[in-house]
């Protein structure tokens, strides 16, 4: 069952909780949701079984969270500010933090900006996705612009099909992507806590995960089966995250 809270600007966001124990906040990927990214394939339950409380928001313009059409609702670092608002709302002091894809970029930017989780997990992400992010929003903005024209064989076909499955509000998604695309490189040297970079063996959508782990002050790399899209469906993803967080 979803809970709701008002973020920094009053926009209502939804989040789910599974388990009891040390909190771990998990941010899902672009066009996904807490349910699809973390709950459906058992990752949240694996964390609960390992003694954690998995706290999983739906990002702004995703899932059961509000998807405003006002450009003013998408200021710079909007997703980081939403994360900070959730942490403040729940009064979290000691917690772990994880994100997949867009969620990974968000948690990395939050930590580089001063958030201090005990441990960090950056999933579905490579070095290029944090040091040169601009190309990724451009790809998705193009998919939104050509939404009704894209057919099988187009490189954006499966992205559009996923957007349809998830009933994405394209107006809100465009505004969010435009805001996210304005962010600069993440200052990796500021991510000092133990950090796991976990990525599908065939996932290079955001660059090299091995290079990202090597570039972090205390980075660790784990490969799991799958591509960018399929790795989150594999039990090994949740197992790798749980194993790292209990160490």
- Mean pLDDT value across residues 211-222: 98
- Tens digit of pLDDT for each residue in 86-117? 999 999 999 999 999 999 999 999 999 999 99
Write down the pLDDT at residue 233: 97
- Tens digit of pLDDT for each residue in 41-75? 999 999 999 999 999 999 999 999 999 999 999 99
- What is the pairing mode between strands 3-6 and 12-19? antiparallel
Q: Is the pLDDT of residue 132 over 90?
A: no
Q: Is CATH 3.40.50.1820 the classification given to domain 3-131+184-246?
A: yes
- Tens digit of pLDDT for each residue in 2-15? 999 999 999 999 99
Q: What residue ranges do the domains of the chain occupy?
A: 3-131+184-246
């Amino acid at each position: 069952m979803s809970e709701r809270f008002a973020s920094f600007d009053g926009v209502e966001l939804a989040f789910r909780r599974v388990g009891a124990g040390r909190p771990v906040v998990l941010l899902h990927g672009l066009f996904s949701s807490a349910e699809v990214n973390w709950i459906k394939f058992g990752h949240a339950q694996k964390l609960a079984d390992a003694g954690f409380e998995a706290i999983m928001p739906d990002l702004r313009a995703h899932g059961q969270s509000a998807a405003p059409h006002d450009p003013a609702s998408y200021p710079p670092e909007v997703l980081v500010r939403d994360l900070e608002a959730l942490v403040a709302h729940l009064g979290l002091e000691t917690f772990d933090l994880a994100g997949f894809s867009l969620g990974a970029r968000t948690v990395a930017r939050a930590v580089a900006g001063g958030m201090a989780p005990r441990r960090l997990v950056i999933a579905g992400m490579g070095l290029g996705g944090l040091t040169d992010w601009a190309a990724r929003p451009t790809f998705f903005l193009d998919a939104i612009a050509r939404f009704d024209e894209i057919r099988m064989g187009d490189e954006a076909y499966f992205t559009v099909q996923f957007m349809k499955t998830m009933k994405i509000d394209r107006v809100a998604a465009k505004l969010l992507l435009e805001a996210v695309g304005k962010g600069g490189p993440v200052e990796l040297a500021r991510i000092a806590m133990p950090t796991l970079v976990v990525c599908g063996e065939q996932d290079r959508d955001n660059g090299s995960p091995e290079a990202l782990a090597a570039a972090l002050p205390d980075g660790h790399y784990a490969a799991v089966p799958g591509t960018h899209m399929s790795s989150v469906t594999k039990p090994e993803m949740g197992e790798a995250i749980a194993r790292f967080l209990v160490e």
